[in-house]
Amino acid sequence: MADARTESDLPLKPLYAANDLDGFDAPTKLGDPGKYPFTRGVYPTMYTGKPWTMRQYAGFGTAKESNERYHQLVAAGTGGLSVAFDLPTQMGYDSDEPIASGEVGKVGVAIDSIDDMRVLFQGLPLDKISTSMTINAPGSTLLLLYQLVAEEQGVSGDQLTGTIQNDVLKEYIARGTYIYPPKESLRLVADVFAYCKDEMPKWNTISISGYHMAEAGATPAQEIAFTLANAKEYVRAAQRAGLDVDDFAPRLSFFFVARTTLLEEIAKFRAARRIWARVMRDEFGAKNPKSQMLRFHTQTAGVQLTAQQPEVNLIRVALQGLGAVLGGTQSLHTNSYDEAIALPTQKAARLALRTQQVIAYETDVCKTVDPFAGSYAIEAMTDELEAAIVELMQKVEDRGGAVKAIEVGFQKNEIERSAYQVALEIDNNERTVIGVNRFTIDVEDEYDPLRVDPSIEVEQRERLAALRADRDEAAVKAALAKLQEAARGTDNVLYPMKEALKLRATGGEIAHALREVWGVYTPTEYF
């Protein structure tokens, strides 16, 4: 790789340190990129070797429609796929169940069985692409369907790369797509860890998410604190299941938001890496440096996008994406400018990807590692955020850990207070939102949004009816009974679950079988 130069033809070093400026008093505690405590990034060269993974989140309607969008994104240059599932799929219901009526294919793709998963990834080489799946309570089901389709392509589990969100604790805090009680949900997460260690060693077994808490109103400090508190709970659950921390921790990953407040977001990501490295080394005794690394995916802040003057969202997303990159993200999804109105159109999705490509290939931010290191403002904000995050994490610990704190409503109440404060500031014009409370226009331009055809619900019902008529019903029932037997005991449930899915059991049938054994979670209202 040729030495990088500035536009003025001056040398641009891949890494700067305090001794690059005479008399500069930058703190020495920063360390080096790729080394503990990873403040400056988890890899020594970061983007100077290659940019982050450009992973665009997409999925709507039927598997066929989503497959077409994935092919368009790959052709446009995306480096990884990220699958959005509809609400029935996320909640463990089939498309033909009464509770799913009106929601099939609306906020993501409807996946009921292996038949749908085959269509979703038709023509996409699963040994060459990295796939992220945003699915939580039934995450194990979708992971196994993906593996089964890959095996049909001749791709073994040890060749598959990607991430499954599998982060159910934040569902109790901020999002609501939980199924089982916390104890059983943690058991399922630990089973995924153990299964992937043996069967899919390159797969990231969990994406511990602060994004959804941020979308619900969490401050940057709350986003990181509550996410890392959840992560500690997952590590403890895996250890209780008999796993050594260095056997699973290298495959943990995280998912954060990037807001328009550029400086604080950069500092937030740097502080998060430093805290997690210390937690893993000092609290959990992780010896493998990969266990101490906080690797994360970032999505730009959908909650900050506006339906008013939607083209302005292009500027917001560009700034948010830049903040994620300057903060050292490993992969990035940039939202489309029209997402506050409807599902993104093909043009809007392409522009969102082009935003990342401009940052990567037309700016100089990829030519040096952690360019804001040593900035008085950034270093001070990193330290201050670290202290605020650690204080919040301790409040969670004081309540007995993340699950106990969830049960008394601590995180949810804290986030709701923050969200209310922001809403008040916007209503009182103390916080500017362009096009909403300042610089408004009288008449908005007409916009033709992408709409999901309601007939897909009928189509999905017909596909399910055909599946049930064609499969070996007795074999499916026997396989589901074996799944329930494992759920009652201590065996890993993913092995019998895979056999049932291979026999064309549906996602809803898997979830119902586990509901019968584990029950469902009913939240308590706190006042």
pLDDT at 28 over 50: no
pLDDT for res 457? 94
CA distances from 158 to 35, 83, 283 (A): 27, 21, 30
What pTM was estimated for this model as a whole?
Answer: 0.90
Strand order in the sheet with 296-300: 203-204, 161-164, 130-134, 80-84, 53-58, 331-333, 296-300, 252-258, 206-209
Residue given tokens 């604080």 in the structure block = 264
Taking domain 18-41+50-427, whether its CATH number is 2.40.30.10 is answered by: no
- Specify the DSSP class assigned to residue 401: S
How many CB atoms are located within 10 Å of the residue 349 CB?
A: 26
Q: What's the residue count for the chain?
A: 527
CA 1/CA 49 separation, integer angstroms: 8
H-helix or E-strand containing 54?
strand 53-58
- Specify the DSSP class assigned to residue 279: I
Q: What value does the mean pLDDT take over residues 413-441?
A: 96
- Specify the DSSP class assigned to residue 344: P
- What pLDDT, in 10s, does the model give residues 256-290? 999 999 999 999 999 999 999 999 999 999 999 99
- Specify the DSSP class assigned to residue 311: T
Beta-bridge partner residues of 134: 84
Terminal Cα-to-Cα distance of the chain (whole angstroms): 60
- What pLDDT, in 10s, does the model give residues 82-129? 898 999 999 999 999 999 999 999 889 999 999 999 999 999 999 988
CB 294 within 8 A of CB 281: no
Q: What value does the mean pLDDT take over residues 161-181?
A: 94
Cβ neighbors of 207 (< 8 A, separation 6 or more) are: 132, 163, 164, 165, 166, 167, 253, 254, 255, 297
Residue given tokens 């500069």 in the structure block = 24
What band does 527 get if pLDDT is binned at 50, 70 and 90?
very low
Tokens encoding 355: 């935003």
What band does 227 get if pLDDT is binned at 50, 70 and 90?
very high
Tokens encoding 443: 């008449």
Is 245 strand, coil or helix? Answer: helix
CA distances from 144 to 17, 147, 476 (A): 46, 5, 16
pLDDT at 23 over 70: no
Cβ neighbors of 322 (< 8 A, separation 6 or more) are: 262, 359, 363, 365
- Render 81-98 in DSSP notation, one character per residue: EEEEB-HHHHHT--TTSG
Name the nearest CA neighbour of 512 among 43, 148, 93: 93
H-helix or E-strand containing 236?
helix 220-240
Is 51 strand, coil or helix? Answer: coil
Q: What value does the mean pLDDT take over residues 449-474?
A: 91
CB 131 within 8 A of CB 83: yes
- What pLDDT, in 10s, does the model give residues 45-90? 999 999 999 987 777 888 998 999 889 888 888 777 889 899 999 9
pLDDT at 145 over 80: yes
pLDDT at 20 over 70: no
Query: 366-387 as b/e, with b when 16 or more CB fall inside 10 Å?
Result: bbbbbbbbbeeebbebbbebbe
H-helix or E-strand containing 257?
strand 252-258
Task: Report cis status (omega within 30 of 0) of the bond before 37.
Answer: yes
CATH 3.20.20.240 intervals, the chain? 18-41+50-427
Q: Which long-range contacts (CB under 8 A, 24 or more apart) does 343-348 make?
A: 343/60, 343/449, 343/450, 343/451, 343/452, 344/58, 344/450, 345/449, 345/450, 346/69, 346/72
Share of the chain above pLDDT 90, in %: 82
User: Radius of gyration over alpha carbons of the chain, in Å?
Assistant: 23
- Render 481-526 in DSSP notation, one character per residue: HHHHHHHHSSS-THHHHHHHHHTT--HHHHHHHHHHHH----PPP-
H-helix or E-strand containing 55?
strand 53-58
